[in-house]
Structure 1
Amino acid sequence: MRKPMTGVRVLEVAQFTFVPSAGAVLADWGADVIKVENPVTGDAQRGLVTVAGRSATAPGVSFSPTVEAPNRGKRSVGLSLALNQSRPVFEELVRRSDVFLTNHLPQARAKLRIDLDEIRRINPSIIYVAGSGFGSEGPDRDNGAYDSTAFWARAGNADGVTAAESEVPVGMPAGAFGDNIGGITIAGAVAAALYGRQATGETSVVDVSLLAVGAWANQSNVNLAMLYGCPLPKIDHRTQALGNPLTGAYRCSDGRFIQLSMLQPTRYWAPLCRLLGLRKAADDERFETSESLAANADEATALLADAIGARTFDDCTRLLDLLGGQWAPVQDAWEVANDESMLANGRIATVEDAQGNRQRLVANPVKFDDAFAELSRAPLFAEHTDEVLRELGMEDHDLIDLKIEGAIT
C-alpha cells in the first residue's frame, strides 16, 4: 500500500506552512487535498519574496520551494468565503470531504463560518483539525503565532541552545523549522482520527499547537525541570555530554566538524584511540572504566581534540567509518540534499515544476512498502477552480456567473 490515504478527501483552508505542510504530507500519502485560497490574494505564502534573508526563488527560476514544499500534490480553488454567492460551493466541498484543515484564529473562523459547529452542521462525520499557536483553550487561544514565537521561543527551544553568556538567544536553524515538525504531527493525528472513525464510527476534533509541539520536542529538558522543581542550569560551550569525551563536536584541521555520540564510551575508547594513533591512551588505566574515564574526561577530550584536529575532515570520516561507533559529519543544507542515505532511501524526491523543469524537494520522512516518494508540484494559484467545481456538477454558465460576482477565481 504505497499510498494508504488514497480515497481520502481533505479540504484545507489554511495558509503559510504549519497546517498546509500537513496537507502536503497527506497528499504525499495519497489523499485528494483541495486547498481553498482567497480568490484575489491566494495563500499569503505565495507573496513571500525572501525567506530567512534569502530569495525565495533562484535567479531565472519561478519554482519557489517555500510554496512548493507545503503545497505539493494539492489542487487549488480560488473561492471567497466572505460572499454568500460562494457558500453553496463551499458547503458542497465540506459535504464531500473526510477531513477539514484550518489554521485560522477562532474569531476569523467564526466570521467566515468555518468554525467547528458550522462545519459539523454541514458534515457531522468530518474530522475537524485546527492548528494554532497556543491551543484551543487558555488565555492565548485567540492569539496568532509563528513557529519562531510559539515553537522556538516560548517552548524553551531557543533557551535550550543559547549559552549563558550570549547576548541574544539563538535563532531557529531554518525557516519553518517548527512548522514542518508540527505539520507532520498533524498528518499523523489525522491518520489516527481516520482509523478511529472507521473503527468506532465516531469522529474527532484534532487540536495541535506550535507551543505543544515545541514542548514535545524539548521534553527532555522540560521533564527534568519538572523533576527538579526549578529551571535547569544553562548549557556551557562544550557539546560533550558530562564525563563522556566520546560525545560532542570536534574540529578537524580544515575547519570541518564531526559529531561523536558514543554513549558506551568504554566500548569504543580503545578502538578509537588506536585508529587515531593514540596507542598509549588506548591502554591507559585512567580511561579504562566508565568511572575513571569520567574522572579524567578533560584529559581524554584534549587528546581526542588534538588527534582529530591534526587530521582533515576526509581523513577523520574515513577512520571513523572503520570504527562502527555512533558519529556523523556536521553537514550543511547542500550536503544534506546530496546525502547518500537520503538519496538511497528516496528522501530527496524529484518533482516537475509548472514550466516542465525537474526540481528536487525533501520528501516527508515516512516510507511505505520501500517505495520512493512520488511527488507532484504545488498548484498554481486557483489552478483547479473550474475542474473541482465541475466535479460538483456545476455547468460553465454557473462558473461564469460566480466569476462575475467575484465569488471564485
Structure 2
Amino acid sequence: MKPLEGIRVLEVAMYGFVPSAGAVLADWGADVVKVEHAVTGDPQRGLRQVGTMRVEGDPNPNVEHANRGKRSIGLDMGTPEGREVLDALIRESDVFLTSFLPHARTKFRIDVDDVRAVNPQIVYARGSALGPRGIESDKGGYDMTAFWARAGIAATLTPAGVEGMISPPGPAFGDTISGTNLAGGVAAALLKRERSGEPSVVDVSLLSSGVWAMGHGIALSAHVGRHMEAPTPGAHGAPTNPLSGLYETSDGRYLSFVMLQPAKYWADVCRHIDRPDLVDDPRFADSRQLAANTDQAVAILRVVIGSRTLAEWSERFATLSGPWAPVQDSLQVADDPQVRANEYIVKAGELELVANPVQFDVTAAELGPGPEFAAQTEEILLELGLDWDRIIALKTAGAVT
C-alpha cells in the first residue's frame, strides 16, 4: 500500500510548480484530479521549445514530468454548472491544491473560505511566487524570477566579470524543488488532521524554496556581513584544501573531490594516483601544512589527474575512501549505473521520467503516464454520481469538456 492511498487531491493549478506537488502526491498514492480549463487546458501543454531542444508530438516530457499519474477533467469554473461540479469535487476531496493568485481565487470563489464553506475539513494548499503576506503577495512569478534571481542563487553562482547572470540548469528547476516542498507540507497537514481533526492552510512559495535552498549561505552572509562570491571560472575552488575542488581529466571531463578533512584522506589519494612519495612530503604533512601549501598540492594533482581519462580514474577511484564524483551532464546522468540501480529514473507510459526523491521501503515509485487533456472527465463525473443525461447537459452548456 502506498502512503497516500485513499487520499484525493483536487488540483486547480497550471504550469510547473504546483502541478509538481500534485505529481509527487500521485507518486505517493493519492488520487489527483487535475482541473483544466474546459477549452484551453493547462498552458503547459503548449510548451514545446526549451532552449535548443524541441519536442514534436506526444508524449511531451515538459507536460508529463509534473502531471504523471493524474486524472484530468476539463471544467469551466466560471459557469454555474461548472461551479456545481467543482463543489461536488471539493466535497469528495481531502486536499485542495492551487496556484491561482489572490484576485483569481476571489474571482472563481476558490479562496480558503469559499472552499471550506463546501468542505470544512479540507487541507488547503497553495503555491505562490512570493508568499501569502507582504505588499507583493498578489504578484505572480516563475522559477527564473522568484526562485533563481530573487532568492540569491543566480548572483551567488555568477562569477565576477561575467556579463548577465548564470541561468538555471534546466526547465522547471525551481518549480520541481518547490513542488516537492509543497507536497511534503501537504503530507504533514494530512497527518495533523488525522491526529487532531484540524485542517491546515499550507503555503510554499518559489521565493521561500529558493531562500531555503540558499539557507546556509544566507545565514553565513548575514552573520559575517558580506555576500557570497562565486569562484573564478577554472579556479580550484577551495583556497585551503586541495581535496575539495574540480580537476580536469585527459579527455576533457571533470571530477569533483569533496574531502573536508584533507589530512585524513591525503595518503589514500596519493596511493590511488600512484604518487606515494607525496604521503611523507613535509609540505603536506598535516592539515595545517596542506592548508598553507594548497596551491602546490593543487598544481601537482592537476598534472597527475590530467594524465588519465575519467573512465580510468573512475576505475581507480572505486576504492578511494574519500567522497568524489564525476561531473556529468543531463544525458550522462540518465546512464549512470547508480541512478539506474536505485531506480531514480522509471518508466511512465511511453516515457522514462525522474521519480520524486522519496522512496518508501526501498521501493521505487510506480509512475503512471500524464493524462491527455480532459481524458477522464466522464469517468470523474460518473464517480460523482451524475447520470449520462446530466453529463450531456453539462457538455452542451460548455461547463465540461
Q: How far did residue 167 of structure 1 move? A: 1.1
Aligned twin of 1:83: 79
Work out the CA distance in 2 between the residues paired with 1:267 and 1:317. 21
Q: Secondary structure at the match of 2:209?
A: helix
What letter matches 1:281 in structure 2? L
Aligned twin of 1:4: 3
Contact 2:159 2:229 in 1 (8 A): no
Alignment gaps of 5+ in structure 1: 353-357
Q: How far did residue 342 of structure 1 move? A: 1.5
Q: Secondary structure at the match of 1:170?
A: coil
Work out the CA distance in 2 between the residues paired with 1:299 and 1:93. 67
Alignment of 1:211-360 (within 5 A): 211-237=207-233, 238-352=235-349, 358-360=350-352
Q: How far did residue 216 of structure 1 move? A: 0.4
Work out the CA distance in 1 between the residues paired with 2:225 and 2:267. 39
What letter matches 1:153 in structure 2? A
Q: Which moved more, 1:367-376 or 1:274-283?
A: 274-283
Per-residue CA deviations over 1:166-200 (Å, capped at 9, x if unaligned) read 11210001110000000110111011000001111
Q: Which moved more, 1:176-185 or 1:82-91?
A: 82-91
Aligned twin of 1:108: 104
Contact 2:61 2:351 in 1 (8 A): no
Per-residue CA deviations over 1:43-91 (Å, capped at 9, x if unaligned) read 000011212331134xxx5211111110011000000011112111110
Per-residue CA deviations over 1:112-152 (Å, capped at 9, x if unaligned) read 11111101111111010110000000111111100011000
What letter matches 1:51 in structure 2? V
Work out the CA distance in 2 between the residues paired with 1:239 and 1:40. 54
Q: Secondary structure at the match of 1:253?
A: coil
How well do the aligned residues superpose, as a CA RMSD in angstroms? 1.2
What letter matches 1:280 in structure 2? D
Contact 1:8 1:97 in 2 (8 A): yes
Work out the CA distance in 1 between the residues paired with 2:316 and 2:52. 38
Aligned twin of 1:41: 40
Moved over 6 A (4+): none
Q: Secondary structure at the match of 1:20?
A: helix
Q: Does 1:364 align with 2:391?
A: no
Q: How far did residue 233 of structure 1 move? A: 4.4
Work out the CA distance in 2 between the residues paired with 1:271 and 1:24. 44
Q: Does 1:166 align with 2:162?
A: yes
Q: Secondary structure at the match of 2:268?
A: helix
Percent pairwise identity: 50
Q: Secondary structure at the match of 1:328?
A: strand
Q: How far did residue 239 of structure 1 move? A: 4.5
Q: Does 1:69 align with 2:68?
A: no
Q: 2:366 aligns with which of 360, 366, 374?
A: 374
Q: How far did residue 240 of structure 1 move? A: 2.5
Contact 1:160 1:235 in 2 (8 A): no
Work out the CA distance in 2 between the residues paired with 1:349 and 1:54. 22
Work out the CA distance in 2 between the residues paired with 1:369 and 1:52. 38
Contact 2:268 2:320 in 1 (8 A): yes
Contact 2:5 2:30 in 1 (8 A): yes
Contact 1:253 1:312 in 2 (8 A): yes
Aligned twin of 1:355: none
Contact 2:12 2:35 in 1 (8 A): yes
What letter matches 2:352 in structure 1? R
Work out the CA distance in 2 between the residues paired with 1:312 and 1:228. 41
Alignment of 1:193-212 (within 5 A): 193-212=189-208
Q: Secondary structure at the match of 2:396?
A: helix
Q: Secondary structure at the match of 1:6?
A: coil
Work out the CA distance in 1 between the residues paired with 2:192 and 2:130. 25
Alignment gaps of 5+ in structure 2: none
Work out the CA distance in 2 between the residues paired with 1:297 and 1:334. 34
TM-score, normalisation: structure 1: 0.96
Aligned twin of 1:96: 92
Aligned twin of 1:133: 129
Q: 1:398 aligns with which of 382, 390, 394?
A: 390
Work out the CA distance in 2 between the residues paired with 1:135 and 1:193. 18
What letter matches 2:291 in structure 1? A
Count of aligned pairs: 400
Work out the CA distance in 1 between the residues paired with 2:144 and 2:52. 15
TM-score, normalisation: structure 2: 0.97
